[in-house]
Structure 1
Amino acid sequence: MSTRHPWTRYVAIGDSFTEGLGDPDPGAPGGFRGWADRVAEVLAHQTEDFAYANTAIRGRLLQQIIDEQAEHALSLHPDLITVSAGGNDIIRPGSDPDEIAERFDGLIGRLRQDGATVVLFTGPDVGMTPVLGLVRGRTAIYNENLHAIALKHGALVADMWALRVLRDPRMWAPDRLHHSPMGHATIAAAVLDTLGVEHGVRPEFPEPLAARPWREARAEDLGWAREYLVPWVVRRIRHTSSGDGVTPKRPELDAVVDNRSDTP
């Protein structure tokens, strides 16, 4: 098999975005596939002796990712690392995107010290969502900091803000906090493009949705609030996390086995 890219040891770290929430798959470790698994499947098909680990856990804040995942990731001696962190910090009331970025800067510097290729992610434009839309300004400031951090350390940026198709509601799971399978596939294609890897993953460009009656949209918003928003608020009040008791789905480097007949 000819090698089409230089990476053989890929480690993904982060929170629910990287864990793959919103893209359920009973056959995948942890029960979720997600964009990182899809990227690993493509990379594994294009080189020999490829191994992949994913230590991301839902709900993790930036400092938790630094403390719990960074050093373990480096101990695996990866040549490719993807890291998405800080999103859960940004959505917390009163958060400071500049202070969060300072800590993220230190994380990227550490991950780059051994020469691994590092891919980081800007936050998507969430102006259309009921709750996340309230932090659109902080997200934009944080994104500008992330571009500067990537330039400083020679990291790559998968620019989710520029991926305007992610504004389509069908790119999001019913909880409106995580991406749907369509969204994860679209993000996987963007990551592979950022790496300069040839692939057959086709990003989704769905036809525009028809306008819905106001009453129908309002009823849907109220149902979403009861099912997803209220539990999220309660966890904040109780200082608990959706990731409490959850362990990484792929804590160690292992071969990627994909028996699907569909494209990644």
Structure 2
Amino acid sequence: MDREQATDEVIRYAAIGDSFTEGIGDEGPEGPVGWADRVAARLADDHDLLYANFAVRGRRLDAVIDEQVPAALSLDPPPTMITFCAGGNDLLRPRFTPEQAAARVEEVVVRFRRAGVQVVLVSSADPSGGLPMGRLVRARGDHYARLIGDLAARQRVKFVDISHDLETARAQYWSADRLHLNSDGHRRVAALVLRGLGIDPDVEPSVAAPRRRGSTLSFTRRHFAPWVWRRVRGRSSGDGRQGKRVQWSRPGAVLGPRESSV
């Protein structure tokens, strides 16, 4: 969008999801930044923007729907646009059923549309290249993303398919824990979401030189084993947390003065 075409339209954008939307792996001076913050910052270039982010790391689909959806819809004034991305933590569990998960998402989309909210569905980036049982994770994620794309078409809402973006799956976009994107990864996702909205991201995301993933032994000891141990105990990295912006905030609170949106 040309700067001369910027409008006075007010956008009230609420982001809903898990660690992917919270921005884990894209750390700023005051905590996670992430693709949703970067999308909000770019939208604020052309519009009067209010922004909220309810996403919490570790949250599974049911918790995202039961906790974050009502909170977002109860904002005053209500949101005009919502990005929704959830289910990534579910597909890592043995009893995940993509069809059931997609059916729940469709219920939420119908609820948002009835409330007059523009819905943008976003699929998670694919972490399978760095994970044990990566083929199973990839197959589940692929199936789930296709179901989300199908329901988006039925409900006539926007869908940004990050799961099938081969570039984002490359090692250089991922943090050492292999589960979360790094800053380059979040910038790329922000650019893809903005293009899905029909908005020029202005700046192409900078990308570090290609690199190999760290050793499997180090990854298992530092990241994978603690993750499994939390699951065994029924714990989550998001226990006791709430979203980082549960009330409307202005774009000045999104990124620091030296940060670009993407």
For each residue in 1:160-218, what CA deviation from the matched residue of structure 2 results, as whole angstroms up to 9, or x when unmatched?
Answer: 13321112111011100000000000000001000011231313566544xx7xxxx7x
**Alignment size in residue pairs:** 253
Per the alignment, residue 34 of structure 1 pairs with 34
SS at match of 1:222: helix
Per the alignment, residue 177 of structure 1 pairs with 179
Per the alignment, residue 263 of structure 1 pairs with 260
Per the alignment, residue 19 of structure 1 pairs with 22
Matching of residue 228 in structure 1 with residue 227 in structure 2: no
Amino acid at match of 2:108: L
Amino acid at match of 1:102: A
For each residue in 1:118-137, what CA deviation from the matched residue of structure 2 results, as whole angstroms up to 9, or x when unmatched?
Answer: 11122334442223613111
Amino acid at match of 1:163: D
Amino acid at match of 2:32: F
Distance 1:2 1:104 in 2: 34
For each residue in 1:26-64, what CA deviation from the matched residue of structure 2 results, as whole angstroms up to 9, or x when unmatched?
Answer: 23xxx110001111111112113x110001000001110
SS at match of 2:13: strand
Distance 2:159 2:245 in 1: 24
Give ranges in structure 2 of 5+ residues lacking alignment. Answer: none
Per the alignment, residue 3 of structure 1 pairs with 6
TM-score using structure 2 length:
0.90
Distance 2:127 2:256 in 1: 34
Per the alignment, residue 82 of structure 2 pairs with 81
Identity %: 40
Instruction: Please report how far the alpha carbon of residue 21 of structure 1 lies from its aligned counterpart in structure 2 after TM superposition.
Output: 0.2
Distance 1:205 1:164 in 2: 14
Amino acid at match of 1:151: A
Q: 2:171, 2:210 within 8 Å by CA — same for their partners in 1?
A: no
Q: 2:126, 2:138 within 8 Å by CA — same for their partners in 1?
A: yes
Distance 2:9 2:93 in 1: 38
Distance 2:249 2:173 in 1: 29
Instruction: Please report how far the alpha carbon of residue 2 of structure 1 lies from its aligned counterpart in structure 2 after TM superposition.
Output: 5.4
Distance 1:16 1:262 in 2: 21
Per the alignment, residue 108 of structure 1 pairs with 109
Q: 2:35, 2:189 within 8 Å by CA — same for their partners in 1?
A: yes
Poorly superposed stretches of 4+, deviation over 4 Å: 4-7, 204-209
Equivalent residue in structure 2 for 1:154, among 153, 156, 159:
156
Describe the shift of the 1:120–1:246 C-alpha distance in structure 2 as closer, same or farther (beyond 3 A). same
Distance 1:196 1:179 in 2: 24
Instruction: Please report how far the alpha carbon of residue 5 of structure 1 lies from its aligned counterpart in structure 2 after TM superposition.
Output: 8.5
SS at match of 1:81: strand
